[in-house]
């Protein structure tokens, strides 16, 4: 039990031993503690009892029995030799009146060890000592000046800490804002401080069973076991405001780098998804398409129903293999969903995409791909994709590298 705190049961054991007039060494042997630990515990938490007999005495001097002037009753304040009477049990072992036979009739100052009060005092001290921020006001002001402008640019705490080498944890920074230690940053400024609607737990039946045959998520996992080194691309769509045009984004996320490429679709249907993939093949060529899109994992949306046209080009050449996630299992393409959270910072839900162009989407892609990720050991997706996909491919996607402090993840990015 070395270096362990005393529990409530340990304190009751101390009280029992004191009542039996055991030494500190004997108590320490019972609790596997040092005698000094026991003595400090008693001295720190002993409680004084109000003794009206002692308080009403006019003469409280320790020399009262031998003093010739003891009948005067006023020597407490005027006598040079006055010394307050304190029982020897309170000066030396055991420092308390526990176990004293004279306790009931004693007219002197009395102290007693009470385990429950001692335990409550200990718990209060334990929590109270850990309240507040373990940081100086000057350091808090410096952090506040760094964090505020970058938060206004839409950067996350993780980006800010990583890019500015702040010696502080992400969770700690959230706590500082919650407690009001950073005067310029409020909860309303933070991206993740929102309330989510309860998820619909209703189980949906898979659509288009004939299309999914041999392409389920279980088949996908089996295929990965046979081809562990293969590149996987997660594909999905992000909708804007549901108006007549039904514009949306086709998003492609590479698992090995979390690199994102978003394409603006004029309509949210399978025809425009296939046209977008055909345009990519025309830009980079069939061989490059096969290299960077060998396996595509997507959901069961109607826009991905024409699987043969996705897997084969206009000339009938096989270019990729498609698998489908299970219904209501978006976690199976979690990297894609994570990139969608970055997109929603710039294009909030319900905002129309009618005024957007592919050039603006490319700017958005560049800023998202320049955001460092904890999962990538503080690297940005752009840095990894440059080596894994090739700089030539990234250039054809019109995506550029953005300085870390210049990254913006706010709606005004695409309104400039």
At 187, is the pLDDT very low, low, confident or very high (cuts 50, 70, 90)? confident
Was domain 209-414 assigned CATH 3.30.420.10? yes
pLDDT beyond 80 at 22? yes
d(CA 296, CA 316): 18
pLDDT beyond 80 at 197? no
At 53, is the pLDDT very low, low, confident or very high (cuts 50, 70, 90)? low
d(CA 222, CA 289): 23
Spatial neighbors of 169 by CB under 8 A, at least 6 apart, are 161
Amino acid 107: pLDDT: 76
To the nearest whole percent, how much of the chain has pLDDT over 90?
Answer: 53
Amino acid 358: pLDDT: 93
Amino acid 207: pLDDT: 57
- Cα–Cα distances in angstroms (integers) from residue 26 to residues 42, 111, 243, in the given order: 15, 21, 83
Q: Domain map of the chain by residue range?
A: 8-128, 137-189, 209-414
Amino acid 77: pLDDT: 62
Query: Residue 5, exposed/middle/buried by CB under 10 A (0-12, 13-18, 19+)?
Result: exposed
Amino acid 69: pLDDT: 64
Compute the average pLDDT of residues 226-253.
88
To the nearest whole percent, how much of the chain has pLDDT over 70?
Answer: 89
d(CA 354, CA 241): 9
Query: Given its phi and psi angles, is residue 64 left (phi above 0), alpha (psi -120 to 50 degrees) or beta?
Result: alpha
132 vs 8, more confident? 8
pLDDT beyond 90 at 78? no
Compute the average pLDDT of residues 289-304.
93
Compute the average pLDDT of residues 152-179.
87
pLDDT digits (tens, 9 = 90+) for 298-310: 998 889 989 999 9
Mean pLDDT, all residues of the chain:
86
Amino acid 398: pLDDT: 94
Amino acid 382: pLDDT: 94
pLDDT beyond 80 at 232? yes
Amino acid 244: pLDDT: 60
Exposure of 320 in the CB half-sphere (CA atoms within 13 A): 29
Amino acid 106: pLDDT: 81
Q: Taking a C-beta distance cutoff of 8 angstroms, is the pair 95, 43 a contact?
A: yes
pLDDT digits (tens, 9 = 90+) for 320-363: 999 999 988 889 999 999 999 999 999 998 888 888 999 999 99
pLDDT digits (tens, 9 = 90+) for 366-401: 999 999 998 888 899 999 999 999 999 999 999 999
Maximal C-alpha separation, the chain: 124
Amino acid 193: pLDDT: 64
Helix/strand/coil (H, E, C) string of the chain?
Answer: CCCCCCCHHHHHHHHHHHHCCCCHHHHHHHHCCCHHHHHHHHHHHCEEECCHHHHHCCCCECCCCCCCCCCCCCHHHHCCCCCECCCHHHHCCCCCCCCCCCCCCCCCCEEECCHHHHHHHHHHHHHHCCCCCCCCHHHHHHHHHHHHHHHHCCCCHHHHHHHHCCCCCHHHHHHHHHCCCCCCCCHHHCCCCCCCCCCCCCCCCCCCHHHHCCCCHHHHHHHHHHCCCCCEEEEEEEECCCCCCCCEEEEEEECCCCEEEEEEECCCCHHHHHHHHHHHHHHHCHHHHHHHCCEEEECCCHHHCCHHHHHECCCCCECCEEEECCCCCHHHHHHHHHHHHHHHHHCCCCCCCCCCCHHHHHHHHHHHHCCCEHHHCCECHHHHHHHHHHHHHHHHCCCCCCCHHHCCCCHHHHCC
pLDDT beyond 60 at 233? yes
pLDDT digits (tens, 9 = 90+) for 249-271: 999 999 999 999 999 998 889 99
pLDDT digits (tens, 9 = 90+) for 213-231: 889 999 999 999 999 999 9
Amino acid 145: pLDDT: 92
At 178, is the pLDDT very low, low, confident or very high (cuts 50, 70, 90)? confident
Q: Taking a C-beta distance cutoff of 8 angstroms, is the pair 343, 262 a contact?
A: yes
Amino acid 274: pLDDT: 94
330 vs 71, more confident? 330
Amino acid 352: pLDDT: 85
């Amino acid at each position: 039990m070395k270096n362990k705190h005393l529990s409530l049961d340990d304190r009751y054991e101390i009280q029992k031993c004191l009542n039996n007039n055991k030494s500190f060494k004997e108590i320490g042997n019972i609790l596997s503690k040092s005698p000094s630990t026991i003595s400090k515990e008693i001295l720190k938490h002993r409680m004084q009892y109000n003794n009206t007999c002692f308080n009403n005495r006019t003469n409280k001097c320790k020399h009262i029995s031998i003093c010739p002037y003891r009948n005067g009753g006023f020597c407490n304040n005027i006598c040079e030799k006055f010394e307050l009477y304190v029982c020897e049990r309170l000066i030396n072992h055991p420092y308390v009146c526990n176990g004293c036979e004279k306790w009931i009739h004693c007219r002197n100052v009395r102290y007693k060890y009470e385990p429950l009060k001692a335990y409550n005092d200990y718990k209060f001290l334990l929590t109270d000592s850990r309240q507040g921020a373990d940081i100086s006001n000057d350091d808090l002001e410096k952090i506040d000046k760094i964090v505020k402008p970058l938060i206004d640019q839409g950067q996350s705490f993780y980006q800010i800490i990583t890019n500015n080498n702040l010696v502080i944890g992400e969770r700690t920074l959230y706590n500082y804002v919650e407690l009001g230690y950073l005067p310029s940053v409020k909860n309303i400024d933070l991206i993740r401080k929102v309330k989510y609607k309860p998820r619909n737990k209703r189980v949906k039946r898979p659509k288009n069973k004939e299309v999914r045959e041999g392409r389920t998520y279980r088949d996908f996992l089996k295929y990965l076991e046979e081809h562990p080194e293969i590149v996987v691309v997660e594909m999905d769509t992000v909708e804007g405001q549901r108006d007549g045009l039904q514009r949306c984004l086709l998003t492609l996320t590479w698992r090995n780098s979390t690199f994102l490429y978003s394409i603006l679709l004029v309509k949210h249907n399978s025809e425009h998804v296939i046209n977008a993939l055909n345009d990519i093949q025309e830009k980079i060529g069939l061989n490059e398409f096969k290299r960077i899109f060998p396996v595509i994992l997507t959901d069961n949306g109607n826009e991905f129903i024409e699987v043969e046209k996705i897997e084969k080009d206009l000339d009938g050449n096989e270019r990729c293999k498609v698998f489908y996630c299970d219904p209501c299992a978006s976690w199976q393409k979690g990297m894609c969903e994570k990139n969608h959270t970055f997109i929603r910072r710039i294009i909030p839900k319900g905002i129309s995409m009618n005024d957007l162009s592919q050039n603006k989407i490319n700017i958005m892609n560049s800023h998202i791909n320049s955001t460092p990720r904890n999962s990538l050991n503080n690297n940005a997706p752009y840095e990894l994709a440059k080596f894994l996909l090739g700089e030539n491919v990234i250039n054809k996607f019109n995506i550029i590298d953005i300085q870390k402090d210049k990254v913006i993840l706010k709606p005004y990015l695409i309104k400039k």
